[in-house]
């Protein structure tokens, strides 16, 4: 039974990766048809990231929402989901979630800034990739990255993957495995490491609330804050270290408060 559910969890990851590959070729074909690529000039052979994301996330929603509905026996909105929705959008909870999302982003950016100054060569390709992403002003790209990506990724990893790993292992190990698979999904070492940490935090929230709603909103804030948090905050290692420590303290306190408030004020009942 453990092996069977672990195989299902890994199958979810491979399905997501397969959809990514299919979507990339579909987006490239559309980009060619739109005339944005000169097939005789390899230098123009790039994919519109907004179109790529849109295709990828629509296909993912079609596949994984049906899969999730099947494992949840046809019920998307359980009583726990309704309570989590009410909790998430309570003014106090919402403020804490926003603070948590921004503190996670600032803490991550600060830590990456410090590491990039120490391991310059290792971070060169990563920095180029992030400059390309954060520099995109396409409305379609921003919408898909900030809204659609969190919905799909929470559904895939904190929904389906965690569902299977919980059937195979205890909650701690189940959360670690889904976070590891979430890290692998991002496709590069640096992004994979902090995605693993995000996955642990988001996974514990999903376990605690028995819902994906709070995690989806937090994930949206983290992704959205990437284009809001200014890189000029970090001008040297000393300043970056100070800001990172402050952000980590705020992160820890806001995360703890969210869980404490949920425990004390939300009556959690088993899902139907």
pLDDT tens column, 33-77: 876 665 555 555 577 889 999 999 999 999 999 999 999 876 667
* Per-residue confidence (pLDDT) for residue 254, from 0 to 100: 98
Tell me the two tokens of residue 144. 């898909």
State pTM to two decimals.
0.91
Helices and strands in the chain: count of H runs, count of E runs: 12, 0
pLDDT-above-90 percentage for the chain: 69
* Per-residue confidence (pLDDT) for residue 127, from 0 to 100: 73
Tell me the two tokens of residue 66. 């049906």
pLDDT tens-digit readout, 209-236: 999 999 999 999 999 998 888 878 899 9
* Per-residue confidence (pLDDT) for residue 31, from 0 to 100: 80
- Report, as an integer, the average pLDDT of 238-258: 97
Place of tokens 């990255």: 145
Q: State the virtual CA torsion across 198, 200, 204, 207 in degrees, nearest 10.
A: 110
* Per-residue confidence (pLDDT) for residue 39, from 0 to 100: 54
270: pLDDT strictly greater than 50: no
pLDDT tens-digit readout, 147-169: 999 999 999 999 999 999 999 99
Backbone angles phi, psi at 73, to 5 degrees: 60, 45
Tell me the two tokens of residue 143. 């919408």
CB 220 within 8 A of CB 147: yes
119: pLDDT strictly greater than 90: no
Mean pLDDT across the chain, nearest whole number?
89
Q: Return the CA Rg of the chain.
A: 19
Higher-scoring residue by pLDDT: 188, 247:
247
* Per-residue confidence (pLDDT) for residue 38, from 0 to 100: 56
Helix (H), strand (E) at residue 57:
helix 49-71
Place of tokens 């989806």: 216
134: pLDDT strictly greater than 70: no
State the Cα angle at 229 between 212 and 216, rounded to 5°. Answer: 5
132: pLDDT strictly greater than 50: yes
For the chain, first and last CA: distance in Å?
23
CB 229 within 8 A of CB 50: no
Task: Using pLDDT thresholds of 50, 70 and 90, give the confidence band for residue 272.
Answer: very low
């Amino acid at each position: 039974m453990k092996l069977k559910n672990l195989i299902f969890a890994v199958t979810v990851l491979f399905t997501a990766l397969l959809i990514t590959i299919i979507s990339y070729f579909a987006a490239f074909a559309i980009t060619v048809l739109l005339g944005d690529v000169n097939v005789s000039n390899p230098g123009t052979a790039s994919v519109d990231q907004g179109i790529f994301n849109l295709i990828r996330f629509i296909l993912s929603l079609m596949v994984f929402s049906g899969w999730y509905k099947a494992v949840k026996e046809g019920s998307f909105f359980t009583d726990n989901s309704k309570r989590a929705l009410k909790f998430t959008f309570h003014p106090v909870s919402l403020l804490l979630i926003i603070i948590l999302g921004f503190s996670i982003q600032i803490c991550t950016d600060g830590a990456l800034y410090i590491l990039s100054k120490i391991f310059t060569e290792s971070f060169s390709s990563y920095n180029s990739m992030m400059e390309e992403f954060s520099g995109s002003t396409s409305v379609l790209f921003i919408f898909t990255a900030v809204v659609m990506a969190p919905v799909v990724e929470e559904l895939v990893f904190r929904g389906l993957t965690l569902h299977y790993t919980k059937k195979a292992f205890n909650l701690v190990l189940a959360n670690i495995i889904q976070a590891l698979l979430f890290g692998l999904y991002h496709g590069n070492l640096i992004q994979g490491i902090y995605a693993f940490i995000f996955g642990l935090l988001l996974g514990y929230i999903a376990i605690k609330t028995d819902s994906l709603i709070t995690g989806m909103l937090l994930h949206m804030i983290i992704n959205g804050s990437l284009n809001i948090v200014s890189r000029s905050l970090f001008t040297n290692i000393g300043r970056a270290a100070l800001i990172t420590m402050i952000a980590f303290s705020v992160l820890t306190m806001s995360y703890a408060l969210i869980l404490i408030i949920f425990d004390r004020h939300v009556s959690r009942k088993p899902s139907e």
